[in-house]
């Protein structure tokens, strides 16, 4: 049973926005401590699928999800599932850097704060460790009490990643985290993600095919709400099974 190894298993996931079917039966599994890239033309349902994994779609009115998604074997859509606990296990980084209008320190400490951590010294340690792992410690160590909004976009995004790391999730979901950033900031985030892979399972939506091929172990190609193909990144990019995948990768559409 190789299935035992998967950290997330999703089976026949359909998602409807009202009557509109945005995911048409997606079955996709994720290996722990790997980077999986979700690619596909815009509007094909990558973000929608990503958001099913931490149930952020619950926040949108009139959304229906069917099928099963399991995290470590537990059905995350079962009525017994605590979404608050789930989201501590499955963190998320958004397309637009979205730090709170607080100090850098308070941003990173937010997750600890809401979990009721009181130990200031421990908190300091975790904040520093998270900022280091997010490769932004050197940029901000002298101004932890400054507003996070005073940072550049790339620094803000890394602080947002540190904010997620501080909660110690198992899985990190990233929705086009570098699409609003300059190439240098993007490169920093890419190499940081490759390092984070040692500890975390990473699922990243990206528009940028080079990015997917540079950093990911597996790649999944979506088209109009369907998962077309999923496999080793090298295989998908050099020798895809499906014609649609090849067309997309060679830039024939999208």
**What, of other proteins, ligand ADP, Mg ion, none, does residue 85 touch, CB below 5 to 8 Å by kind?**
other proteins
Q: Nearest distance from residue 77's CB to ligand ADP, in Å? A: 18
**What, of ligand ADP, other proteins, Mg ion, none, does residue 184 touch, CB below 5 to 8 Å by kind?**
none
**What, of ligand ADP, Mg ion, other proteins, none, does residue 59 touch, CB below 5 to 8 Å by kind?**
other proteins
Direct distance between the N- and C-terminal alpha carbons of the chain, in angstroms, rounded to an integer = 37
| Contacts (CB under 8 A) with other proteins, residues 88-147 | 88, 91-92, 94, 96, 98-102, 110-111, 113-115, 147
d(CA 204, CA 172): 8
Q: Nearest distance from residue 20's CB to other proteins, in Å? A: 21
Q: Nearest distance from residue 210's CB to other proteins, in Å? A: 27
| Residue placing its CB nearer to Mg ion in the complex, 135 or 202 | 202
DSSP 151: S
**What, of Mg ion, other proteins, ligand ADP, none, does residue 87 touch, CB below 5 to 8 Å by kind?**
other proteins
Site string for Mg ion, 4-43 (x = CB under 5 A): ----------------------------------------
d(CA 56, CA 43): 17
**Count of other CB atoms within 10 angstroms of residue 207:** 16
Point out which residues bind ligand ADP (CB under 6 A).
17, 20, 22, 40, 42-48, 60
Q: What is the DSSP string of 24-54?
A: EEEEEEE-TT-EEEEE-STTSSHHHHHHHTT
Position among 10, 47, 130, 219 found at the interface with Mg ion (CB under 5 A): 47
**What, of Mg ion, other proteins, ligand ADP, none, does residue 191 touch, CB below 5 to 8 Å by kind?**
none
Phi and psi at 115, nearest 5°, equal -85, 0
Burial (0-12, 13-18, 19+ Cβ within 10 Å), 216: buried
Q: Is residue 118 within 8 Å of residue 140, measured between CB atoms?
A: no
Determine, following the binding rule CB under 8 A, whether residue 159 of this chain makes contact with other proteins.
Answer: no
Shortest CA distance to 215 belongs to which of 51, 7, 71, 35? 35
| Contacts (CB under 8 A) with other proteins, residues 26-55 | 54
DSSP 189: H
CA distances to 27, 84, 169, 217 from 239, in Å: 21, 41, 34, 15
- Kindly list the residues in this chain that would bind other proteins in the complex (CB under 8 A): 54, 56, 59, 84-88, 91-92, 94, 96, 98-102, 110-111, 113-115, 147, 149, 160, 163-164, 167
């Amino acid at each position: 049973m190789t299935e035992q190894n998967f950290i997330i298993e999703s089976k026949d996931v359909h998602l409807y926005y009202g009557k509109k079917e945005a995911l048409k039966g997606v079955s996709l599994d994720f290996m722990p401590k790997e980077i999986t890239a979700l690619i596909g033309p815009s509007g094909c349902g990558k973000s929608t699928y990503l958001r099913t994994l931490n149930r952020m779609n619950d926040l949108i009115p009139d959304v229906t999800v069917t099928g099963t998604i399991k995290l470590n074997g537990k059905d995350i859509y079962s009525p017994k599932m605590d979404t608050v606990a789930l989201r501590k296990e499955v963190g998320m980084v958004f397309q637009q850097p979205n730090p709170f209008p607080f100090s850098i320190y308070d941003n990173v400490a937010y997750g600890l704060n809401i979990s009721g951590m009181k130990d200031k010294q421990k908190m300091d340690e975790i904040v520093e460790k998270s900022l280091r792992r997010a490769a932004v410690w050197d940029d901000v160590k002298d101004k932890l009490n400054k507003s996070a909004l005073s940072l550049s976009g790339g620094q803000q995004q890394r602080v947002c990643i540190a904010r997620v790391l501080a909660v110690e999730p198992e899985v990190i979901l990233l929705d086009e985290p570098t699409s609003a950033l300059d190439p240098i900031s993007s490169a920093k985030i890419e190499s940081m993600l490759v390092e984070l892979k040692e500890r975390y399972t990473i699922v990243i939506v990206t528009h940028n095919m080079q990015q997917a091929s540079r950093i990911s172990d597996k790649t999944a190609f979506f088209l109009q709400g369907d998962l077309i193909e999923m496999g080793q990144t090298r295989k998908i990019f050099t020798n895809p099974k499906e014609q649609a995948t090849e067309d997309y990768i060679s830039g024939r559409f999208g």
